[in-house]
Amino acid sequence: MGILEVKNVNKRFGGLQALGDVNLSVAENTVHAIIGPNGAGKSTLLNCLVGKLIPDTGSVMFDGQSVLGRSPYEINQMGISRVFQTPEIFGDLTVMENMMIPCFAKRDGAFELNALNSVGNQKDIIERAEHMLEDMNMADKRHMHAASMSRGDKRRLEIGMCLSQEPRLLLLDEPTAGMARADTNNTIDLLKQIKQERDITIAIIEHDMHVVFSLAERITVLAQGTPLVEDTPDKIKGHPKVREAYLGESA
């Protein structure tokens, strides 16, 4: 049994079958890529995993517990963190503050009325956030306004924020979309390093095959809302069905 089990998930938007009978099993401590042409339903599937969308039918189990019907914050507290297609960070706050917030969420849970203590006195949180910033190579940027950083740095910060929660499953939706080559390679290196250093399962949606083949141990190909094949990267590379799905899209 994988840490994430998706069974018979269907999702319709009006007349459009965005997901049709999706079955997916992500094994613990692997990097699992989900690829497919535009409009294949990859983001829709991901949204069903984190509570943004509720599937019409089917089940989504994380570590033996159903995530369906729970709100995003509850699912996150179960151990699933999500990185967005465009970096979602707290633009008005400093880099350090950005990093402290997930640390508070990890320590205090979904809500804590901690209104009379000073942030400056929360030694454990500060230490943890600083440690994470060093891990992410961003310690020198700690006082910067998060919004004023480059896209690559924002992505790096967002990944760091997710990691500081020590999630068991990290979901990434096209983490390198719109990035320059150098930033893309940095992100690949960062993810490789993360995988090496800790026990974590990563599910990644990606268009860039360079990224996919650098990282993934398993690949699921999604086309028109249905998984076509699931296999190791080597097998996927030459798979006729995969070629067809991509070529059919571009033809």
Ligand X SMILES: Nc1ncnc2c1ncn2[C@@H]1O[C@H](COP(=O)(O)OP(=O)(O)OP(=O)(O)O)[C@@H](O)[C@H]1O
- 57 vs 66, beta carbon nearer other proteins: 66
DSSP, collapsed to helix, strand or coil, labels residue 242 as: helix
DSSP state of 113: -
Residue 176 makes contact with ligand X by CB under 6 A: no
Can residue 166 be called a binding residue for other proteins (CB under 8 A)? no
Task: For residue 47, state whether it binds other proteins (rule: CB under 8 A).
Answer: no
| Residue 20 sits in the site that holds ligand X (CB under 6 A) | no
DSSP E strands, 14-149: 16-26, 31-35, 57-62, 65-66, 80-83
Q: Residue 41: which of 60, 69, 16 has the closest Cα?
A: 16
Residue 44 found at the interface with Mg ion (CB under 5 A):
no
Part in contact with ligand X (CB under 6 A); list of ranges 40-48, 74-82, 181-189, 230-238: 40-48
Q: Based on CB atoms, which residue is closest to other proteins, 125 or 216?
A: 125
String of DSSP letters for 190-236:
HHHHHHHHS--EEEEE-S-HHHHHHH-SEEEEEETTEEEEEE-HHHH
Q: Does 143 bind other proteins (CB under 8 A)?
A: no
The closest alpha carbon to 236, from 220, 222, 224, 251, belongs to 220
Task: Report the C-alpha gap between 31 and 229 in whole angstroms.
Answer: 16
Check: CB of residue 126 under 8 Å from CB of residue 100: yes
Smaller CB distance to ligand X: residue 129 or 245? 245
What is the closest distance, in whole angstroms, from the C-beta atom of residue 231 to other proteins in the complex?
A: 30
Number of residues that bind other proteins (CB under 8 A): 40
Q: Does 90 bind other proteins (CB under 8 A)?
A: yes
105 binds other proteins (CB under 8 A): yes
Beta bridge partners of 222: 227
Q: Rule CB under 6 A: choose which of 3, 4, 9, 18 binds ligand X.
A: 18
**At its nearest, how many Å lie between other proteins and the CB of residue 212?**
24
d(CA 11, CA 6): 13
Q: How far apart are CA 148 and CA 91, in angstroms?
A: 8
Counting DSSP H helices and E strands in the chain, the numbers are: 9, 10
Which of 43, 47, 186, 201 is close enough to bind Mg ion by CB under 5 A? Answer: 43
Question: Does residue 86 belong to the site contacting ligand X (CB under 6 A)?
Answer: no
Q: Does 182 bind other proteins (CB under 8 A)?
A: no
Residues that bind other proteins (CB under 8 A): 50, 71-74, 76-77, 81-82, 84, 88-93, 97, 100-102, 104-106, 108-120, 122, 125, 161, 165
Residues that bind ligand X (CB under 6 A): 13, 16, 18, 36, 38-44
Residues that bind Mg ion (CB under 5 A): 43
